Amino acid sequence: MKKLLTLVSAAFLLTACSGGGSQEAIDKYGSDTLKVFNWGEYIGEDVIENFEEEFGVTVIYENFLSNEEMYTKLQTGDSYDVLVPSDYMIERLIQEDMLQPLDLSLIPNIDNLAEGVKNLPYDPNNEYSVPYFWGSVGIVYNKNNVPLELLEEQGFAIMQKTDYKGRIYMYDSERDSFMIALKALGYSMNTSNEDEINEAYEWLVQINQTMEPAYVTDEVIDYMANGVKDLAIVYSGDAAYILSENEDMGYYCPEEGTNLWSDAMVIPANAENPKLAHEFINYILSYDASYANSNHVGYASSNQEVLDELSSGMYADNEAYIPRSGYEKDEVFVYNKDLTAKLSELWVKVKIAE
């Protein structure tokens, strides 16, 4: 619902903001409007306005709810100047020649990039993309009801412990669910080995059969902030918010590895205003904009200085804010078209298995 609201307000903004550009901007960039397509609830409060003021341009800012939705819109011919897709989707867009290479000389702030988001495998030299937010997927748990030792011992398999029957939230997405199953079984989350996938399928079916899980998406944020259940699979940034709202909650990433993901800014091949797009990317990487974004949204910043400051300041005791590094088994998603289709079909069946 919250996202729907954002969408509606974005539409209002769209109509309200037309015609604020300047001749200066047109001379410099060739145009005074920039079309940005980003996730809902993913930007600091005044970031867009400040950018508009500073550069004398108008930003048309639209939201999407999933990578797939964004991809479908691109395919129907909509043109944007800046997109913020996730790792595997960027890989797909690169493979399908839908992005244009970046001119890094126009993005000097790239030197601010945090250690953790440098040389990511989907785009090792930042040829096409510049990271925006990054994080992990882990377990939010109620510290009063779930001992940390048990979590450490069980890892993701705690989702199969019948002591917590009816007390768990699964994330209703095939990618994240198969990720935890494959990790719990000790496999790579990017496997295309049929046997391993079937084993993961059975692992998930067992949860459905014995644990009375609730399958939710964004609702989980409110539920866990209110302490409705004991265990939930949650994205780190949402977890950071939950932890800041409810001090009984903790965040844990199992030793057996998890998904390290990142969302990054890219310029589509059909962008009408690539010059201004570079300026925008550079602006987002600046200290002020990065700080406003990360502070407001709770996801880990791609700016090292901001990351250091927030993790020792506002998010000091919040184990969900900084994505961990140095775990060998943590992985990044790799795009595989056939696998995506297969997993999503299996996921439908997991949820109806008895």
Partner 1 sequence: MKQFAKMAIPYAIWAAVMIAIPMLMILLYAITESGNGVVTLKFTLDNFIYFLTDPALLRVLMTSFKIAIYTTILCILIGYPAAYFMSKLNEKYRTTVLLLITLPTWINMLVRTYAWMGMLQVDGLFAQILGMLGIGDVQLIGTEGAVIFVMVYNFLPFMILQIYTSLSKMDKSYLEAASDLGANKVQSFWRVTFPLSLPGVISGITLVFLPAASTFQISQLIGQGSVPMIGNLIESFFLKTGDWNKGSAISLIMAVIIMFSMYLAKKVDKDPSTRGRI
User: Beta strands 168-171 and 214-216: pairing type?
Assistant: parallel
Helix pair 274-285, 287-297: axis angle to 10 deg: 70
Count of all residues that appear for the chain in the document: 354
- Is the CB of residue 348 less than 8 Å from the CB of residue 208? no
Contacts to partner 1 from residues 280-319, by CB under 8 A: none
Shortest separation between residue 81's beta carbon and partner 1, angstroms: 26
Shortest separation between residue 5's beta carbon and partner 1, angstroms: 13
DSSP per-residue letters across 141-201: EETTTS-HHHHHHHGGGGGG-GGGTT-EEEES-HHHHHHHHHHHTT--TT---HHHHHHHH
- The radius of gyration of the chain from alpha carbons, rounded to an integer in Å, stands at 21
DSSP per-residue letters across 254-304: -TT--BEEEEEEE-BTT-S-HHHHHHHHHHHHSHHHHHHHHHHH-SEESBH
> What does residue 180 show for φ and ψ, rounded to 5 degrees?
-65, -35
Strand partners, 265: 130
Contacts to partner 1 from residues 66-105, by CB under 8 A: 68
- Is the CB of residue 168 less than 8 Å from the CB of residue 162? no
| Interface stretch with partner 1, choices 117-125, 170-178, 184-192, 244-252 (CB under 8 A) | 170-178
HSE-up of residue 47 (Cα within 13 Å, Cβ side): 26
Shortest separation between residue 344's beta carbon and partner 1, angstroms: 4
Contacts to partner 1 from residues 101-160, by CB under 8 A: none
**Residue from 174, 263, 309, 330 in contact with partner 1 (CB under 8 A):** 174
Q: Is 348 in the site for partner 1 (CB under 8 A)?
A: yes
Shortest separation between residue 197's beta carbon and partner 1, angstroms: 15
Is the Cα dihedral 113, 133, 139, 200 positive or negative?
negative
Q: Is 8 in the site for partner 1 (CB under 8 A)?
A: no
- Is the CB of residue 323 less than 8 Å from the CB of residue 135? yes
Nearer to partner 1, 329 or 349 (CB): 349
**Residue from 1, 149, 317, 328 in contact with partner 1 (CB under 8 A):** 1
| Interface stretch with partner 1, choices 29-37, 233-241, 324-332, 342-350 (CB under 8 A) | 342-350
Contacts to partner 1 from residues 196-235, by CB under 8 A: 208, 212-216, 228-229
Nearer to partner 1, 1 or 316 (CB): 1
| Interface stretch with partner 1, choices 17-25, 77-85, 168-176, 190-198 (CB under 8 A) | 168-176
Nearer to partner 1, 14 or 214 (CB): 214
Q: Is 341 in the site for partner 1 (CB under 8 A)?
A: yes
Nearer to partner 1, 167 or 183 (CB): 167
| Interface stretch with partner 1, choices 53-61, 125-133, 190-198, 341-349 (CB under 8 A) | 341-349
Nearer to partner 1, 104 or 214 (CB): 214
Nearer to partner 1, 215 or 287 (CB): 215
Joined tokens for residue 307: 């990351």
Interacting residues with partner 1 (CB under 8 A): 1, 68, 166, 170, 172, 174, 208, 212-216, 228-229, 341, 344-345, 347-349, 351-354
